[in-house]
Amino acid sequence: MTDSIAVPTLPEIIAATASPRRHALLRSMGVRFRAWNTGSEERCDPHDPVKTSLRNALEKHSAAFAAFGASEWILAADTVVFFNGTVLGKPASLEEAEAMLLSYSGRTQTVFTSIAVSPPHSPTQTFTAASSVSFRSYGAAEVARCISQVNPMDKAGAYDISDSSRELIASCSGSFSNIAGLPCELLGEWLAAHGYFKREGSLYA
C-alpha cells in the first residue's frame, strides 16, 4: 500500500490584468491566479517609458488592493514600447496600428514591462524589465497580412511576439516573455524569494 502525499496548494494571486497573454504566461509558470480587470485608464509620459509603465502598474495594483484588501497576493503589470524617442501604447485605430507596424520596418525598439506586486500584509514592490526587438525590412502587404491574422488593438505597439507578428521580427534580445507582456524570469525569482513556490521540484523554488 502506498501512502498518499498531500501536495500543498499554491496561494491564489489576484492578477490585476485582462491580458490573455499574461494569463497564459502565469499559467506557464505554474502560478495559481484569479484574473481581475481593474478598468484603470492607462496614462502615458511620451518620453519616459519606465515612468509610464511603473505608474500604470502601480495604479492597477492600487485598484486591486482597494478591492481585495491587504490579505491577498496582488500582481499588476504594464507594458510599453519605446521607439524613435516616443512611448507607444495600444493603437487607437487599425490605421494607427498599420502605421506603427510600417514604421518599425528595418529598425529596433525597446519593450519595457513594469510589475507591481505584494505578498499579504506586505509593502508593494516594483521592478522593470527591458528587452529589444529588431524588425526585418517589409512592406504594406506584409503588415496587412499580419493585421488580418491578429487583432493589434489590445497590444502595446500593435503586435504580439508570440503570434503571427513574429513574421515581421528579425531578432530580439533580453527576456522573450517580457516582450510578450510579463518578465517571467524576474517574477519567478521574486515569488520564490518571498515564499510563494514552496513545492519541491518547482521551477522557481
Is 154 considered catalytic here?
Answer: no
Residue 76's SS3 state is strand
First to last CA, the chain: 30
Which has the closest alpha carbon to 19: 43, 42, 36, 31?
Answer: 36
- Cα of 174 vs its chain's centroid, Å: 14
Separation CA 77–CA 61 (nearest Å)? 8
Q: How far apart are CA 189 and CA 203, in angstroms?
A: 10
Strand pairing category for 73-83 and 13-15: parallel
Amino acid at 198: K
What are the backbone angles phi and psi of residue 91, rounded to the nearest 5°? -70, 150
From the candidates 78, 154, 160, 163, which is the catalytic residue? 78
Instruction: Report, as residue numbers or ranges, the catalytic residues.
Output: 78
